[in-house]
Amino acid sequence: MTFRIGDSVPRTEDPLLLSGKGRYTDDVNEPGQAYAWMVRSQHAHGVLKDVSIETAKHMPGVLAIYTAADLAAYGPHKCALDFKMRDGTPMKRPVRKSLASGKVRYVGDPVACVVARTSMQAKDAAEAVELDIDPLPAVALASEAAKPGAPQLYDDVPGNVQLDFLWGEPDKVAQAFAAAAHVTRLKLRNTRVVVAAMEPRSRFASTMAIASRSPARARACSRCATSSPRSSACRRTR
């Protein structure tokens, strides 16, 4: 079946979802599984002075609590994009870590991860983790963040502009507007482009021993809601 631009595309997922046959991460369970709960920043911008886990790590069911220091050996996230600025210089690549260190940069920025035997035990312990954050000025719009004098999120990204990208032929575009009978000027606010799954981003991971291999080895199995399973697998194995 082919479609033209503008054609209505019939949905195919509704029969399963409306009949209660949808499959979500919480539907997948294994004996003895553990649960993770993220501790997140309540500030949009601030200096992260301390993460206290002493009380939380002794609470019932808690198996582990991770902070940025525990993940230091794994390094930061890798950026697969390789765009150039309009002047030909490389795009800015600020260091982005799985858990915040030194600074938080948005409401919900993950700071710690609590792992416990049940989801409620993980939640209770996460609420006992204490964050010491000195709030810094913040703005909510990208247009405001790019203005002179705006709060600086990353020291190595001047003006908060990671990429100033040019595509097309601006001279010809300018000529077309100059020759147009009517010109309309308007401001467009583009929301963040993101895959919006019906459940929050989640993952169910398990390992199993491969008895037939010598020496013994284990195989990891991961189930997650993603539109790009291959790239997700690549990131997971690096």
81 and 174 fall within a common domain = yes
The kind and range of the H/E element at 29 are none
List pLDDT tens digits, range 179-196: 999 999 998 877 767 766
pLDDT in tens, 47-64: 999 999 999 999 999 999
Residues 116 and 219 in one domain: no
For the cut 60, the answer to whether the pLDDT of residue 233 exceeds it is no
Domain that holds residue 115: 31-193
Residue 123, CA distances (Å) to 27, 62, 70 in order: 19, 10, 20
**Do 207 and 174 share a structural domain?**
no
Tell me if 25 is assigned to some domain. no
pTM equals 0.80
Are both 186 and 224 inside the same structural domain? no
Identify whether residues 49 and 160 lie together within a single domain: yes
Does a structural domain hold residue 6? no
Looking at the fold, whether 208 and 181 belong to one and the same domain comes out as: no
Q: Distance of CA 101 to CAs 105, 110, 135, 151, Å?
A: 10, 10, 15, 18
Q: Check whether residue 148 and residue 205 sit in a common domain.
A: no
61 and 108 together in one domain: yes
DSSP code of residue 78: P
Domain assignment present for residue 24? The answer is: no
The count of structural domains within the chain is 2
